[in-house]
Amino acid sequence: MEGIVGYGAYIPRNRIKVEEIAKVWGADAPSYKKGLMLEEKSVPSPDQDTITMSVEASKNALKRANIDPVKIGAVYVGSESHPYAVKPSGTVLAEALGATPECHTADFEFACKAGTEGMFVALNLVKAGAVEFGLGVGADTSQGAPGDALEYSAAAGAAAFIFGRENLVARALETYAFMTDTPDFRRRENKYYPQHGGRFTGDPAYFKHVTGAARGILEKAGAEPQDLDYVIFHQPNGKFPLRVGKLLGFSKEQILPGWLVNKLGNTYSGSSPLGLTSTLDIAKAGDKILLISYGSGAGSDAFIFEVTDHIDKVRDLAPRTRDMLDNNKNYLEYGEYAKFRHKIRKAD
Amino acid sequence: MSTPSRYWREIPQRYRKEANRCAPCDLIYFPPRLICPECGNRALEKTVLAEKGSLMTYTIIRVPPSQFKDQAPYAVGIVEMDDGVKLTGQVVDCEFDKMHTGMRLQMEFRKMYDVGHSGIICYGYKFVPEY
């Protein structure tokens, strides 16, 4: 059986509150907080990007996996904010971990589901016997245009998963993918900020694909919502994952351990993977976890994992996700935030 | 300013903190040496530096080299790692008035600087307060 042998998270220490952003743009903070169920979001330091956060999350995954990094035969980084337009993020990551040179590397892009795409491919390469261990990472330092609704949620974080066949912390019981061509969100070449379709990002996009993937994988596994102990949905805001969970018949108790968005924001490719690391931090042997990502464009990847008793031996070898979210926070004012996110253009 | 080839040559140290050790002298060299200057031993073994250490001393840089100008002011410290090696590096994610000698730090992988808007992005280690 294949599954996760090590998992790791990374969340930057900087935060900005919804009130601080709303104050600058004359927006009504309480309505954003209530409407989107967001309180604050993570902000990367100026010297952090998708690559640096991928390295830190992967180092945490390696500590839990306790394997020789040179045995990792595949390294995949999913992000919509790769630092280079042409030059892979995965080469830096693989080199920093010590996985080179016998290693297959690729960068994935599919809006917010690029992280689970890397996980999907790494897991299935292990399943096929092509590699002994495969690493899939979801990481983003996403950008929202100043004053846009996205600015209240676009955040930063990374989650990494090493897949293998022995000493599993969670068995991969089932996978499923659901995808159509739905242009709800995009960023064209050389454009700094993305554009979204407003309400079009809801029913025909997020809800159609998340429910499609959830119903598909449950049918494939012969399972009902009550057979799962935990469920994680992509979290573009606080409201969508709770609404889609209710729609599908999941309880809040199944969703909340992996629901980080109110304090973290939307970490795009890192969003549902960070929900999974947070859930693995508290899950016990035998628990079944459903993970469903969503990426605009649009599609969802779905996984069902079953936690093993090995998790108790490795869980505290690296920082827990909630600890990184709740501790060591540094609150920014909007001016610092704008500087950190390179929203201020300086002269050359 | 780093050229891609110079940056590339330093990757094992910048990314993975690869050092080497003279076993008879019990000394670690970073960056690695070919010959131990103490005993002349050429059979140095590969090792990797500890990830955590304590701040020995620090200063605040307000007039930086050109490639660090957007980062100023910033702190640079000398850190005694848990394996005894003393390293110089930037200390980030920490307010200056909260810094003190003896504080526990750990390495994190960060961007060091960009070589302009079209050049390479140089990565390496910096120090942050221990989690």
Per domain, the residue ranges of chain A are 3-169+319-340, 170-307
Contact at CB, A51 and B131, closer than 8 angstroms: no
Q: What is the pLDDT of residues A100-153, one digit of tens each?
A: 999 999 999 999 999 999 999 999 999 999 999 999 999 999 888 999 989 999
Domain-wise residue ranges, chain B? 4-129
Going by C-alpha positions, the residue among A199, A297, A279, A283 that lies closest to residue A233 is A279
Task: Say how far apart CA A290 and CA A153 lie, in whole Å.
Answer: 24
Q: What class, spelled out in words, does domain A170-307 have in CATH?
A: alpha beta
- Confidence band of A348 (pLDDT split at 50, 70, 90): low
Residue A195 has pLDDT above 90, yes or no: no
**CB neighbours of A189 closer than 8 A, spacing ≥ 6?**
none
Q: Which residues of A touch B95 (CB under 8 A)?
A: 330
pLDDT over 90 percentage in chain B: 89
Tell me the average pLDDT across A294-322.
Answer: 97
For residue B94, what are the CA distances in angstroms to A334, B67, B71, B74, B124? 19, 21, 14, 10, 18
Interhelix angle A50-65/A89-97, nearest 10 degrees:
40
Q: Which of B16, B109, B131 sits opposite A52 (nearest CB)?
A: B109
Distance of CA A321 to the CA centre of its chain: 12
Q: What is the pLDDT of residues A212-266, one digit of tens each?
A: 999 999 999 999 999 999 999 999 999 999 999 999 999 999 999 999 999 999 9
pLDDT of residue A187: 87
Task: Say how far apart CA A318 and CA A214 lie, in whole Å.
Answer: 30
Residue recorded with tokens 């090696």 = B85
CATH of domain A3-169+319-340: 3.40.47.10
Task: List A15's β-bridge partners, or say none.
Answer: A42, A331
In this structure, are residues A78 and A94 in contact, taking their beta carbons and an 8 Å threshold? no
Q: Which residues of A touch B117 (CB under 8 A)?
A: 348
pLDDT of residue B1: 55
In whole numbers, what is the pLDDT of chain B averaged over residues?
95
Question: What is the identity of the amino acid at A83?
Answer: P
Q: Which of A13, A55, A56 sits opposite B93 (nearest CB)?
A: A13
Helix (H) or strand (E) segment spanning residue A158 = strand A156-164
pLDDT of residue A197: 81
Task: Say how far apart CA A328 and CA B8 lie, in whole Å.
Answer: 34
